[in-house]
């Protein structure tokens, strides 16, 4: 398909070349050692000062986008004068954002209702589209339940809908409604509410670093922005509240910050988690372990409601 795309572009008097790629995770090109170790072919077009990379085999890639495994790697551009080593463009965390707005309504009987709107951009939008394409309604429900719950069974899905599923030039949007399968934890007159819906330990995959001698691949830079509003039923007489204090973690490769605010009987939790690198080297594993130790400590905290 790349060969056909190159031919069509050249017919429009646009310089275009096939590009030999060894996708990330399968190794890398060594500029000092000739090799034919490639597994993919994409296209680069040059029009004046503009350079556009394209992957005609990626059905979920918009114009000018390439698959995440082909980003920020050395590739071989096949020109009339021979092969030329180039580096494909890297994406930034803001290119691959996930924006999640969630409302949790806690009733007097400790049951929980959830409604949410989730927007996926860039590589994450492509991932979600690809993952849900060709699935039956039941299969989509099963996947979305796991997306909300992680490895736990906290919620059952009541309804869901999609926007821009087939329009790859726009963010992929999902609306959901769900019901809690477990009640809010309560000991005596004290209620415990964990606002970190998507950042519980069972939702996060931590890679083991013990005896690991090669880099950890994050896939691509990304950013998750969560806004969770927790509504407490007005019939619940609250005497006092212990709010989670703001906290921030910064490392050489990622960033995490959280803040909880109270306005009347509504508690707003805002979280940003950003990864700025494609991978980290073994020399950064100690920093990685310290980050996850603090991350686990922060996201295991609860808003504590003392009722009358």
State whether 213 and 191 are in the same domain.
yes
Q: Which two tokens stand for residue 6?
A: 């190159």
State whether 43 and 133 are in the same domain.
no
Asked if 31 contacts 74 with a C-beta cutoff of 8 angstroms, the reply is: yes
Q: Tokens 């209620």: give the residue.
A: 191
Question: What pLDDT, on the 0 to 100 scale, is given for residue 150?
Answer: 67
DSSP conformational letter for 34:
-
State whether 130 and 264 are in the same domain.
yes
Question: What pLDDT, on the 0 to 100 scale, is given for residue 47?
Answer: 87
State whether 41 and 111 are in the same domain.
no
146-173 CB burial, b ≥16 within 10 A, e <16: ebbbbeeebbebeebeeebeeebeebbb
Q: pLDDT per position in the chain (308 positions), as tens?
A: 888 999 999 999 999 999 999 998 787 777 777 777 888 999 999 988 899 999 999 888 888 899 999 999 999 999 998 889 999 999 999 999 999 999 999 998 889 999 999 999 999 999 999 889 889 988 998 888 888 776 567 788 899 999 999 999 999 999 999 998 888 888 998 999 988 888 876 667 788 999 999 999 898 999 999 999 999 998 888 889 999 999 999 999 999 999 999 988 899 999 999 999 999 999 999 999 999 999 999 999 999 999 87
DSSP conformational letter for 123:
H
Asked if 305 contacts 197 with a C-beta cutoff of 8 angstroms, the reply is: no
Domains of the chain: total:
2
Asked if 199 contacts 73 with a C-beta cutoff of 8 angstroms, the reply is: no
Residue 112 to residue 233: CA distance in whole angstroms: 10
Q: Which two tokens stand for residue 35?
A: 């090799």
| The last residue of a domain, from among 60, 87, 114 | 87
**Nearest CA among 252, 246, 258 for reference residue 290:** 252
Q: Which two tokens stand for residue 265?
A: 């009987």
Residue 282 to residue 212: CA distance in whole angstroms: 7
State whether 223 and 240 are in the same domain.
yes
Domain residues for 33? Answer: 2-87
State whether 152 and 250 are in the same domain.
yes
State whether 220 and 139 are in the same domain.
yes
State whether 173 and 275 are in the same domain.
yes
State whether 12 and 119 are in the same domain.
no
Question: What pLDDT, on the 0 to 100 scale, is given for residue 121?
Answer: 96
Residue 260: which CATH number?
2.60.120.1130
Residue 51 to residue 29: CA distance in whole angstroms: 21
Neighbours of 185 (CB within 10 A): 12
Helix (H) or strand (E) segment spanning residue 36 = none
Question: What pLDDT, on the 0 to 100 scale, is given for residue 201?
Answer: 63
| The last residue of a domain, from among 87, 112, 132 | 87
State whether 99 and 212 are in the same domain.
yes
Question: Full-prediction pTM beyond 0.85?
Answer: yes
State whether 299 and 207 are in the same domain.
yes
Question: What pLDDT, on the 0 to 100 scale, is given for residue 158?
Answer: 92
Residue 159 to residue 177: CA distance in whole angstroms: 5
Q: Are strands 222-232 and 97-106 parallel, antiparallel or unpaired?
A: parallel
| The last residue of a domain, from among 34, 68, 87 | 87
Q: At what angle do helices 137-149 and 122-132 cross, to 10 degrees?
A: 140
Residue 168 to residue 170: CA distance in whole angstroms: 5
């Amino acid at each position: 398909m790349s060969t056909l795309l190159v031919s069509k572009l050249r017919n429009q008097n646009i310089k275009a070349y096939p590009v030999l790629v060894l996708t990330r995770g399968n190794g890398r090109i060594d500029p000092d050692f000739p090799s034919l170790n490639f597994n993919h072919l994409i296209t680069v077009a040059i029009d004046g000062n503009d350079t556009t990379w394209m992957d005609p085999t990626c059905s979920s890639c918009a114009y000018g986008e390439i698959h995440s495994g082909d980003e920020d790697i050395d590739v071989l551009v096949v020109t009339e004068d021979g092969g030329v080593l180039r580096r494909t463009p890297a994406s930034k965390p803001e290119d691959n954002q996930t924006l999640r707005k969630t409302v949790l309504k806690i009733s007097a009987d400790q049951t929980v209702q959830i409604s949410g709107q989730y927007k996926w951009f860039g590589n994450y939008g492509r991932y979600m589209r690809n993952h849900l394409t060709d699935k039956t309604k039941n299969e989509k429900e099963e996947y979305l339940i796991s997306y909300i719950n992680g490895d736990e069974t906290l919620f059952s899905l009541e309804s869901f809908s999609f926007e821009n599923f087939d329009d790859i030039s726009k963010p992929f949007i999902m609306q959901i409604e769900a019901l809690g399968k477990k009640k809010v934890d309560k000991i005596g007159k004290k209620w415990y509410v964990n606002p970190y819906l998507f950042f519980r330990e069972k939702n996060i995959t931590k890679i083991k670093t013990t005896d690991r001698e090669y880099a950890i691949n994050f896939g691509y830079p990304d950013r998750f922005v969560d806004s969770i509003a927790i509504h407490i039923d007005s019939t619940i007489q609250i005497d006092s509240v212990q709010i989670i204090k703001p906290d921030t973690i910064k490392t050489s490769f990622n960033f995490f910050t959280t803040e909880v605010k109270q306005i009347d009987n509504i508690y707003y939790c805002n979280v940003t988690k950003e990864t700025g690198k494609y991978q980290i080297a073994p020399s950064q594993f100690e920093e990685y372990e310290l980050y996850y130790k603090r991350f686990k400590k922060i996201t295991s905290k609860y808003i504590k409601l003392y009722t009358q």
